């Protein structure tokens, strides 16, 4: 009868050697005898991950593996990944893949991870852990803007994103504002801002959109000058604008006017888009200003000029008392004319020293002139009759200074005097005493209108003489 050996547990190698030894010694194993292998089944092989949903282009970070049990107590690891499913197409995971834990690289698609644990001849696969990749929104669309120095810009983002954040840097940093619209602070220089999209799942755009706010210097030197009063019925001589500065260096203009006041009811004027402006004829007091535009700057508003329309005096008439002519209305001063020549007199009453048509205009304290009066005809000035002296000739007239006095016969007692229009005597000559024609040199007189008077003991005759240079 074969020998039996006791029911004893040994490690595998020792068990095999023991069986060989017992067989050579004539022993056989009893049915109740069981020899167990020492590398029992591996257990406690699980993996966990804090965040199983991540944004495209990011990493889930560290995948934690539990400490396994069983086997022979000594373990090795192999991490695997699949982009297909939790059960198929697993391949070796990249990077350091033989540790108890595993750090995933950046992922671009949904991926499954698992860990293989090996101990002697046993191996075990962990649970398959799915990492879902969430799409990132596109970078927002934001238009660049140009503003004038000292103002702010309102930036508007558009995208399919859930929300937007605004930054001062292209990466990192703290948001300046969160929202679709961002109003910048007051800017004094060109500045770049950055906009980032964020999806409802919390993923941000892979890049930020750079938004440039170009700051243009403010328009300066916008001022206007010009006469601040005009006489009724007279055109205004014009308003002058100073050359604008600042801005882009390219300017456009718009003139405005108001008949209400200096602060309200301004309207644009026709043909008022130049540096200067001619108001033309005004019927009421009017206020003017100039607007200047340059790039994103404007309008720059100039000072306001008030142009007051002054009334004009009524048209005067002339009355005569002997040789005295008087304007009918009281005024600040007057302008007298004899035919088409302006007289130097500015008083209400003058003495008529020469025949012809006299006119007068009244001028008020605002230097506004009335229309000239109707012509007042003076036939003889300074004597009742000219008698035979009326036949005397004085030529050429006008003259540059040399004149000829001609009569039918000699005039033994004839005197010629030259006066200006104020009655001042400028020269006296005895003429035609021995001859019927005589040349006189009056070149010592400046250019102007003069009164030449010929007289003897009975008659007086006057002539107007124009001297040119």
Main-chain phi, psi angles of 297, to 5 degrees = -95, 135
Q: Tell me: do 229 and 211 sit in the same domain.
A: no
Q: Tell me: do 33 and 46 sit in the same domain.
A: no
Decide which of 220 and 456 is more confident: 220
Task: Give residue 44's pLDDT band: very low, low, confident or very high (50, 70, 90).
Answer: very high
Give the Å distances, CA to CA, from 108 to 59, 69, 199, 221: 9, 34, 17, 60
42: tokens are: 């591996």
Report CA torsion sign: 144, 148, 149, 155. negative
Secondary structure (H, E, C), 287-319: EEEEEEEECCEEEEECCCEEEEEECCCCCCCEE
pLDDT exceeds 60 at position 8 = no
Q: Tell me: do 48 and 34 sit in the same domain.
A: no
- How high does pLDDT run on average in the chain? 88
pLDDT score recorded for residue 373: 94
Q: Tell me: do 72 and 22 sit in the same domain.
A: no
Which CATH number is 306's domain given?
2.60.40.10
Q: Tell me: do 279 and 245 sit in the same domain.
A: yes
Task: Give residue 12's pLDDT band: very low, low, confident or very high (50, 70, 90).
Answer: very low
Q: Tell me: do 190 and 201 sit in the same domain.
A: yes
pLDDT exceeds 70 at position 29 = no
pLDDT exceeds 50 at position 173 = yes
Task: Using alpha carbons, select from 242, 301, 305, 247 the residue that is nearest to residue 279.
Answer: 305
pLDDT score recorded for residue 39: 59
Look at the block and give the residue holding tokens 């006299």.
358
User: Which of 274, 289, 310 finishes a domain?
Assistant: 310
pLDDT score recorded for residue 469: 76
User: Which of 340, 358, 378 finishes a domain?
Assistant: 378
Q: Tell me: do 236 and 205 sit in the same domain.
A: no
Mean pLDDT score, 308-318: 94
Q: Tell me: do 283 and 335 sit in the same domain.
A: no
Main-chain phi, psi angles of 322, to 5 degrees = 70, -120
pLDDT score recorded for residue 24: 54
Decide which of 457 and 38 is more confident: 457
Looking at 83-92, 154-163, 212-221, 460-469, which range is the least confident one?
A: 460-469
pTM over the 0.85 mark: no
Q: What's the CA gap between 311 and 307, in Å, rounded?
A: 13
350: tokens are: 């003058």
Q: Tell me: do 93 and 121 sit in the same domain.
A: yes
Name the percent of the chain lying above pLDDT 70.
90
Q: Tell me: do 407 and 426 sit in the same domain.
A: yes
User: Which of 329, 350, 378 finishes a domain?
Assistant: 378
Q: Tell me: do 128 and 58 sit in the same domain.
A: yes
Decide which of 178 and 51 is more confident: 178
For the chain, the domain total comes to 6
Range of 363's domain? Answer: 318-378
**Tens of pLDDT, residues 265-291:** 999 999 999 999 999 999 999 999 999
pLDDT exceeds 70 at position 438 = yes
Q: Tell me: do 50 and 98 sit in the same domain.
A: yes
**Tens of pLDDT, residues 325-370:** 999 999 999 999 998 889 999 999 998 878 889 999 999 999 999 9
């Amino acid at each position: 009868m074969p020998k039996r050996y006791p029911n004893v547990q040994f490690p595998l190698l020792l068990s095999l050697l023991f069986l060989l030894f017992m067989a050579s010694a004539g022993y056989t194993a009893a049915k109740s005898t069981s020899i167990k292998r020492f590398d029992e089944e591996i257990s406690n092989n699980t993996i966990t991950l804090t965040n199983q949903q991540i944004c495209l282009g990011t990493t889930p970070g560290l995948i934690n593996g539990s400490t396994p049990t069983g086997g022979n107590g000594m373990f090795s690891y192999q991490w695997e990944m699949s982009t297909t499913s939790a059960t198929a197409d697993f391949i070796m995971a990249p990077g350091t893949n033989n540790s108890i834990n595993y750090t995933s690289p950046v992922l671009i698609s949904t991926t499954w991870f698992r860990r293989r644990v090996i101990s002697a001849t046993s191996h075990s696969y962990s649970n398959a852990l799915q990492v879902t990749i969430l799409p990132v929104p596109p970078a927002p669309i934001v238009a660049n803007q140009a503003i004038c120095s000292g103002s702010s810009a309102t930036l508007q983002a558009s995208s399919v994103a859930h929300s937007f954040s605004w930054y001062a840097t292209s990466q990192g940093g703290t948001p300046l504002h969160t929202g679709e619209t961002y109003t910048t602070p007051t800017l004094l220089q060109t500045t770049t801002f950055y906009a980032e999209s964020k999806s409802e799942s919390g993923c941000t755009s892979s890049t930020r959109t750079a938004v440039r706010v170009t700051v243009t210097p403010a328009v300066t030197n916008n001022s206007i000058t010009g006469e601040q009063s005009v006489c009724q019925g007279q055109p205004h001589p014009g308003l002058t604008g100073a050359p604008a500065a600042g801005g882009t260096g390219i300017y456009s203009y718009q003139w405005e006017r108001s008949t209400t006041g200096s602060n309200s009811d301004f309207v644009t004027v026709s043909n008022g888009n130049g540096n200067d402006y001619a108001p033309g004829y005004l019927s009421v007091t009017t206020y003017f200003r100039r607007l200047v535009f340059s790039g994103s700057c404007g309008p720059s508003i100039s000072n306001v000029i008030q142009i007051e329309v002054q009334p004009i005096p009524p048209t005067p008439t002339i009355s005569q008392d002997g040789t005295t002519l008087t304007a009918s209305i009281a005024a600040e001063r007057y302008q007298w004319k004899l035919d088409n020549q302006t007289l130097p007199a500015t008083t209400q009453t003058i003495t008529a020293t020469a025949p012809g048509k006299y006119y007068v205009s009244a001028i008020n304290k605002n230097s506004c002139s009335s229309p000239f009066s109707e012509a007042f005809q003076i036939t003889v000035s300074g004597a009742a009759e000219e008698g035979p002296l009326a036949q005397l000739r004085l030529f050429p007239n006008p003259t540059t200074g040399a004149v000829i006095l001609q009569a039918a016969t000699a005039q033994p007692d004839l005197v010629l005097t030259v006066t200006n229009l104020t009655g001042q005597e400028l020269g006296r000559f005895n003429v035609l005493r021995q001859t019927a024609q005589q040349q006189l040199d009056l070149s010592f007189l400046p250019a102007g209108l003069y009164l030449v008077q010929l007289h003897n003991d009975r008659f007086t005759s006057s002539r107007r003489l124009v001297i040119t240079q």
